[in-house]
Structure 1
Amino acid sequence: MERGAGLSSTSSPLASVHDLVMLDLDGVVYVGPDAVPHAARTIGGLSTPVAYLTNNATRAASDVAEHLRSFGLELEDAAVVTAGQVVADLVRREAGEGARVLLAGADGMRAALEQVGMEVVASAEDAPHAVVQGGVIDVRWSELAEASYAVAAGVPWFASNPDTTFPTPRGLAPGNGAFVHAVALATGREPRVAGKPAGPIFEEARRRTGATSPLMVGDRIDTDIDGAIDAGIDAMVVLTGVTTLADVIELAPGHRPSYVAADLRALDEPHPDVVLERSRATCGEAVASLTDERLDVVGVEDGDLRGLRALVALAWQARDRGDAVSVEDVRMGP
């Protein structure tokens, strides 16, 4: 028998073994104007400090903080770290205060640039020192065209984040990464990125808090989880946003989070050991089995943390030895 198949375990509530909880926002704490179920109550009950890391540069950090306070959460504006803030500071350090920046983005990104002393311009003919893409609200073709002209001419190019989709109450819409990709296709170049999965946003959260043992919680593998892994930070994926259980099961080594959970309530729970046999995994009362490529979990209710851990560990073990695993009809029940 073996334990875990890549999942870490804790005998104490997960948040208590870290000195900072880094939370992604869209799909983790809220979707659009509404809080994700259980999120506010769980966050409000944590004794571990919390930082909110968002790749969304559409809004200013103060507006994001006010949104979070509307759910009853207590926080200072500085607890919110936006990719817009981080890319603005990166541009300031490289281009110098007062530099002209051609922006293809939203008002929140403009505010972040102006707060660090940048002069925002609208045309490649304004001789910009840098091009920035950040935020997706009301981005026009003309902005993308001007950005493309400047980037093609060799102007340094920065992007707040690479997310190709943006969650809304109606579903997924094109994200900043989709617009970045359009400029990349037009120019044959790639930008420097500040937000997840790049390291600068994690470094800024650590700098503000002094944390040495943070936990990153997110709903996106390619940004939240991959970025945390690259930064040497433990990560937990939650299934309240874009990543599904099927997505988690299919993850290859090197992209797997330390923890997996249905929602943020798992921050306030221990994550018990998973004991693995060839076609069976046990985590507390949960027992997962693999029969003819089919995964089943018994002993716990749907969404129970122990059931998820047993199922994911068993699936990862099977996939690593080359066995087929069906992700279309997973059963979980008492």
Structure 2
Amino acid sequence: MNFKSIRGRIIVIIVVIFVLFGAAISFNIFSLVRSNDGLGSYRDLSEVTNQIAEIENDFFEAALAFKDYVINYDEQTKETFTQNINAVQSFFTGETTDSTLVQNIITKIEDYENNFNQIVQLNEEKNRLASQDFKDISNELRQLITDFKTLAQKNNVSTLVFYADSSMNILDNIDHLASMYFSSKSLGDKNNVLNAFNELDSQLLIMQYGLTSDELTEMFNEMKDMAEQFRNTFNQIVTAIESQQPIIGQMEQARVEILNLLEEQRMELKVQQDTLGPSLIEENNRAITLTAILTVVAFVVSIIMVIYLIRSITKPLLEFKNKINQFKEGDLTVNFESKSKDEIGQMANALSEMSK
């Protein structure tokens, strides 16, 4: 491209103007993209912060459901706990982060759920033992005492008949006291049941001294074994109930820790959000300033180049016009030669050749 020609100058100036304004526009677009990305990050942080607040509420609801469950042990409360704790877990499971705080929260929540499942299992075991094994053994022992009493009557052993009736009353009392304990789980009710078992053992101990036949002895041994099995089953129920207390204590401590961790996570995100906001504003202002500077520079350079173009055309034209006017007025000594290599210079040189 020949910059010495008018056409070349015009093309160069147009290209330079396009480049300058293109650079300004490109930088503006780049700044807008970065600003949009920053706003997206800020919006994401805001959403996550709000979600953490919702997760805190979900976990709090799960903790309330747990407290209700260890009182009533109903399926609806269990379902409420599971639903809320799953909501908490699903949120953090979807988080792709190496944050120690988040990993700690995930671990604590998993432990919290596992402890709750242990409580559920222990309660189910307690219900099974109380509603099936304990009741079945009680009925079997009751039948053995009845059969033993009948056999004692046949053998005319009135003392054994009396103690059999007394044992039956104690057995009724054990069933009643055990039912109270299974509901209240209080230490006092448990001790009442154990005292009743001790009373039953005392009755059986006395009865063995009145055995007068092998048949009575055999049935008594069956009754004694069944009474021992009855007590062992009750002890298993006690273990299932009392094993829950340490777990409940652990869960209460874990509840406080998890809520503190969730609050810490929310505050950490809030700090990031509060830090990102001003930095986005500062970066946006800087981008606006640089865009304005680039635009002004492009505009000024464009004006300078246009002025240069106009002057590079008008100045030789005016000189050429003046020389033509001189030649027109009869001055044949006018020199039309021009040092310019553009179209005007070429025209002036051509006219100079013609005038010689």
Normalised to the residue count of structure 1, the TM-score between the two structures is 0.23
Structure having greater relative contact order (Cα 8 Å, sep ≥ 6)? 2
The structure whose residues are more often strand, as a share, is 1
Q: Larger Cα Rg: Structure 1 or Structure 2? A: 2
TM (normalized to structure 2)?
0.22
